[in-house]
Amino acid sequence: MTATQPSTLLATLGGRYYAGESVFAAEQSEIFESMWFCAARCADLANPGQFKKVQVGSESVLVVRGRDGLLRAFLNVCRHRGAQLCTEPEGHVRRNLRCPYHAWTYGLDGKLVAAPNIATLTDETGMGIDRYRYGLVPVALTEWLGYAWVCLADEPPPFTDTVIDDVTSRLGDPAAIGRYGIDGLQVGHREVYDVAANWKLIVENFMECYHCASIHPELVEVLPEFSRGLAAQYFVGHGAEFGSDIAGFTVDGSAGFGTLPGITAEQDRRYYAITVKPTVFINLVPDHIIFHRMYPMSADRTVVECDWLYTDEVVSAGRDVSRSVELFHRVNQQDFDACERTQPAMSSRAYRNGGVLVPAEHHIAAFHSWVVSRVGEAR
C-alpha cells in the first residue's frame, strides 16, 4: 500500500500497458513463464494417459497423468522437428504420446520410447541415442488446493514464498485456507469465459469493490457492506459478512449447503476474496469455493475458467447447485462486461497517461508497481 493522503487520486498505468503487444510479450516471459501458474484441476486428469493442453505465457504445456499415478508437465513440442504433439485441448492416450508427423513416441514420463528406425540412430558421439536427452522437455509441477501449478522458469521461485504467501498475507493466518479442504472438493460446475480484455483489467476489477454498488445488485444484497465500496481485500483477515436476512451465498439469498466441515465459526457467514498473482482468484464462502484461473491469450484477450467446488456429498448426490452457481456467474458476467467496456479505451489518446485510482482503489497501485517491477517501464 502506497502511503497517501486518504482523499488523493493516484495515477494508474498508461493505456499502453494494456494494449501493446510489446508489454504483453514482456509479461509472458517475466510473469507467466517465470512464476507459478495454475494450469489445471488435478481431478480432471484422474486416469493414466489423461492430458490437458494449456497456454502458459507464449508456451503450450501438456499436463499428463502418468502410469505411476503422478502428474507431470512438458512443453508440447516434439524433439524431432518441433511439431506440436497435441493440438486438442484435452484428451486421453492409452500408453504413449505419439507425434503425428513422423511418429516419434514418448512415454507418459516424457522419455522417448520409439521412433522409426530408432535402433539404428546414433548421436554426435556415435553412441545409440539417449532416450531421456531426446525426451520431452519437462516443466516443474506442484499440486496445491487440488490444482496443478506449473513453472517454466529454469529455477522456479519457492512455492511457499510466492503462491502460498499471497494467500496467507490476505487471510492473515496460514492455517485459514486449509480449513476449507479445497483439495478434497469436487467441481460441481465450471464456466469458461472468453473475455475481450487484458488480464490486468480483470485483476484490478477483482481487487476493488468501488464498482459493487453500481454493477452487482445481487452481490450487494448478500453482502451489504459491499454497497459502501470498501475493498474487502485491503483489510488483512477481513471477510465480508452476509446480510442478517441472508441464509446462504446464493443468487436469492436462500440457503446453500450448510458449512464445509473444517471451517471455524469466524469463517462462517463470510466471504473472503483472494488474489493470487498472477492469474488466480479464490473466493471462499462457508459451503463452497469459487476458483478462477486466467489464461492470458493476447494483450486484449483472456480466457477465464471458473470452478464452483462443493463437497463430494453435494456433487455426487446431484444436489441442485444452480442458485449457488448463478450468484457468482452473474458477478462474473457483470465484471467481464465492465472489463470489455474498458479495453477499447486502452488505446485511446484520452487514456495515454492512464486514469486515476480513488482512495477505495489505492491498493491497486501496489499491483501496478509490481507489474512495472517485472516488465519495466513501457514506452
Q: Which residues bind ligand FES (CB under 6 A)?
A: 78, 80-83, 99, 101-104
- Residue 80 binding: pick among ligand FES, Fe ion, none (C-beta 5-8 Å cut-off by kind): ligand FES
| Residue closer to Fe ion, measured from CB, 145 or 232 | 232
Q: Which is nearer to ligand FES, 75 or 212 (CB)?
A: 75
Distance from C-alpha of 81 to C-alpha of 79, rounded to nearest angstrom = 6
Smallest separation (angstroms) from ligand FES to the CB of 77: 9
Interface pick for Fe ion out of 335, 351, 361, 368 (rule CB under 5 A): 335
* Angle, alpha carbons 212-31-109 (nearest 5°): 115
Selection from ligand FES, Fe ion, none that 327 binds (CB < 5 to 8 A by kind) is none
The one-letter amino acid at 207: M
Query: Whose Cβ is closer to ligand FES: residue 120's or residue 373's?
Result: 120
Give φ, ψ of 306 to 5 degrees.
-125, 125
Nearest residue to Fe ion, by Cβ distance, number only: 335
Judged by CB, which is closer to Fe ion: 109, or 191? Answer: 191
User: Which residue number, 104 or 249, has a Cβ lying nearer to ligand FES?
Assistant: 104
Task: Give the nearer residue to ligand FES in terms of CB position, either 101 or 370.
Answer: 101
Buried b (16+ CB within 10 A) or exposed e, 181-196: bbeebbebbeeebebe
How far apart are alpha carbons 282 and 206 in whole angstroms?
Answer: 10
Q: Answer with the entry of ligand FES, Fe ion, none that 335 interacts with (C-beta below 5 to 8 A by kind).
A: Fe ion
Closer residue to ligand FES in complex, CB, 99/251:
99
- The residue written with cell numbers 464452483 in the block is 308
Nearer to ligand FES, 103 or 345 (CB): 103
Q: In angstroms, give the least distance from the CB of 78 to ligand FES.
A: 3
Q: Which one of Fe ion, ligand FES, none interacts with residue 81, CB within 5 to 8 A by kind?
A: ligand FES
Give the sheet arrangement for strand 112-114, strand by strand.
96-98, 105-107, 112-114
* Minimum distance, C-beta of residue 134 to ligand FES, in the bound complex (Å): 11
Binding residues for Fe ion, total number by CB under 5 A: 1
Partner whose footprint covers residue 10, from ligand FES, Fe ion, none (CB < 5 to 8 Å by kind): none
CB 36 within 8 A of CB 20: no
Q: In whole angstroms, how close is the CB of 81 to ligand FES at the nearest point?
A: 4
Beta carbon of residue 138, minimum distance to ligand FES (angstroms, whole number): 17
Q: What is the DSSP string of 280-317?
A: EEEEE-SS-EEEEEEEEEETTEEEEEEEEEE-HHHHHT
Q: How near is the Cβ of 107 to ligand FES at its closest, in Å?
A: 15
Phi first, then psi: give them for residue 206, nearest 5 degrees. Answer: -70, -30
95 binds, among Fe ion, ligand FES, none (CB under 5 to 8 A by kind): none
H helices present in the chain, as ranges: 16-19, 21-27, 159, 165-171, 199-207, 212-215, 217-222, 312-316, 322-342, 364-375
104 binds, among ligand FES, Fe ion, none (CB under 5 to 8 A by kind): ligand FES
Beta strands in the chain (DSSP E): 10-11, 37-41, 50-56, 59-65, 71-75, 90-92, 96-98, 105-107, 112-114, 138-144, 147-151, 186-195, 240-241, 270-276, 280-284, 289-298, 301-310, 356-357
Enumerate binding residues for Fe ion (CB under 5 A): 335
